[in-house]
A and B are shown apart, each in its own frame.
Chain A
Amino acid sequence: MEDVLTKRLFVKGNEAVAMAAIEAGCRYYFGYPITPQSDIPEYLSRELPHLNGEFIQAESEVASINMLLGASATGVRAMTSSSSPGISLKQEGISYMAGSELPGVIVNVSRSGPGLGGIDASQSDYFQAVKGGGHGGYHIVVLAPASVQEMYDLTMLAFDLADIYRMPVMVLADSVVGQMKEPLVPNSRPATDLPAKEWAVRGKGDGEQRVVKSLFLGDGELEAHNWKLHDKYQDLKARECRWEAFQTDDADLLVAAFGSTARIAKTAIMMAREEGLKVGLLRPITLFPFPEQTFLDVTARTKKVLVIELNTGQMVEDVRLAVARDAEVGFYGRPPGAGSLPTPEELLEQIKKNY
């Protein structure tokens, strides 16, 4: 018998997403080709037909998010994926899903922008993902993988959180973790104690009519609905914050970075440690809910935090909000389309400047 604990694969991050979706029980995928995420629809177009599933290459990103909306409304696990400009097109549907309290997984293997931008690694979609990219004032859960392993594990988690909280969940990756090959141990499994989807439309049968909608015109209905959504976001903040803390216990300077940038920062931190500088890393894994309390706790000691991003400053705003005026917040970033990633030496220099 195969020992699953020792099963190691060597795959691309995008493939890991597709594999995790299948393992999570997702049998419905709707997408549209766009670099650098096309491995995901390619993989699922190959596999889903053998699993009694459905793969549709939609006419547009707009159509694919709405196919996801329709499938999710019936209670099945379903997914779409795209990259930045395509994710912009999906925002209308994401807002409707958030308003209708529909689960669903959206993967953004982001590229650089604005506009058509470029295809190199960037973290310029942080605001769009975390602040509710569409109209109406809502949030979705945003998970930021930093490795192929996390592309798998967080995709699995995305399906669970979507079902538990009845809301869209985004895996916000970039071309580094999407296109890179790394060892993967595909051990994550879906949660087993998920709530029943009694709200899902299946045909009313002999029961009461079920309606999935986001229109609330009755007196006070919409306000009550928005408070309900707000409470859900507060629950998420209380229960679902995830992060990686690396050598933060004795740190004099805290570095904050997410996704692939955090890996380069980690190397720079190890170099700094070799030189006797006490530097630690806090890597938010959930960008929404943002681990505010953890930032407050860690910076209570360090009094300083250096935020590093592959943009001109987005997550840094949430760090500033989290630490208020209790800690000094520095920033180093490279705008989208820099054409290359920062080197560990480049980040070490910034660490020294801020130490």
Chain B
Amino acid sequence: MQQVFKRPVSLKDVQTHFCPGCHHGTIHRLVTEAMDEFDVQKRTIGVASVGCSVFLYGYFDIDVVEAPHGRAPAVATGVKRARPDSFVFTYQGDGDLAAIGTAEIIHAANRGEDITVIFVNNTTYGMTGGQMAPTTLVGQKTSTSPYGRNQQKDGAPIRMAELLAQLEGVAFSARVAVNSPKNIIDAKRQIKKAFRYQVEGKGFSFIEALSACPTNWGMNALAANERVGSEMADYFRLGVFKNTDNM
């Protein structure tokens, strides 16, 4: 009998701490599947960030360095420059990457560091209890925007995948979602493309994955999943914004 589906070797056989309906688990799976398919697990150094993503080392069976809040791209820069033969990726949330770590992500991308960044955008600070993030949608209520995000006072949500695509150092930038089988298949395809850029030494690659946070959105898992494909994807358009091999 042929086994057609199994746990990726790079993914540990443990339960996660993620809430029901959270998309981190699916994204973890896709990233580790891609890691297996490129056979990079043994030479991978992951950089964990601060937030729900911090427990990366608990779920990925790889060497991991934990970075201060927002600094993962700088830490990854140091790792990759010191060990250019290693496969290096960061895994960051939206508060981490698009607020406190804005300088680090922009400049690592602009230098064209040969790393891959997995950016999980769930429009809120999950770990700290659902505060307003730089990606919170206009009108969205959070624990620090109880009347809804006000564009005049708080600005509009930042579209990181498009923003980074403007930089010369970026080889690949895409936004994906994992809210439906179709989107999961596409997300896997884009993650593999992003990994290929690094494996081939072609520069900085970026994946923004839209994710549900039912707990902090005050929704059940199904409603949160639907919001990703509707309200979120309407503003954060899915697609590839930079793909230098096709240029």
Q: Which positions in A face B, CB cutoff 8 Å? A: 28, 30, 54, 56, 58-60, 62-64, 66-76, 78, 92-93, 96, 100, 201-206, 209-215
Contacts and interface: CB of A to CB of B under 8 A. Distances in A.
Contacts of B44: 203-204
Interface string B51-79: 00010010001111111100100111111
A215 B66 contact: yes
Contacts of B54: 215
A71 B81 CA distance: 7
B74 A63 contact: yes
A201 B111 CA distance: 23
Given A203-B63, A205-B42, A213-B57, A74 B71 contact: no
A209 B86 CA distance: 15
Contacts of B162: none
B67 to A, nearest CB: 7
Interface string B73-117: 011111111110011000000000000000110110001000000
B160 interface: no
Contacts of A210: 63-64
A70 B47 contact: yes
Given A70-B65, A201-B65, A213-B66, A59 B78 contact: no
B74 A67 contact: yes
A59 B61 CA distance: 32
Contacts of A62: 71, 74, 103-104
A209 B107 contact: no
A73 B42 CA distance: 17
Contact of A100 (B45, B66, B82, B104): B66
B107 A73 contact: no
A159 to B, nearest CB: 15
B79 A59 contact: no
26 contacts: A28-B81, A30-B78, A58-B107, A63-B71, A64-B74, A67-B74, A68-B78, A69-B71, A70-B76, A70-B79, A70-B80, A72-B78, A73-B75, A74-B79, A201-B45, A201-B65, A202-B63, A203-B44, A203-B63, A209-B63, A211-B65, A213-B48, A213-B57, A213-B64, A213-B65, A214-B66
Given A59-B104, A210-B63, 14 more contacts: A28-B78, A58-B74, A59-B103, A66-B75, A67-B78, A69-B68, A76-B82, A96-B66, A203-B62, A203-B87, A204-B41, A206-B42, A210-B64, A212-B66
A66 B86 contact: no
B67 A66 contact: yes
B79 A73 contact: yes
Contacts of A211: 57, 63-66
Chain A to chain B: the 5 pairs with minimum beta-carbon distance, closest first = A70-B78, A66-B74, A203-B43, A67-B78, A71-B78
Contacts of B45: 74, 201-203
A204 to B, nearest CB: 5
B69 to A, nearest CB: 8
A212 B82 contact: no
B78 A78 contact: yes
Nearest to B70: A62
A69 B81 contact: no
A67 B103 contact: no
Nearest to A214: B66
A59 B57 CA distance: 28
Interface string B33-49: 00000000111110110
B66 A66 contact: no
Contacts of A215: 54, 66
Contact of A93 (B63, B68, B107): B68
A63 B81 contact: no
A92 B50 CA distance: 13
B104 to A, nearest CB: 6
A62 B68 CA distance: 10
A70 B74 contact: yes
A63 B65 contact: no
B79 to A, nearest CB: 4
A30 B78 CA distance: 8
Contacts of B111: 56
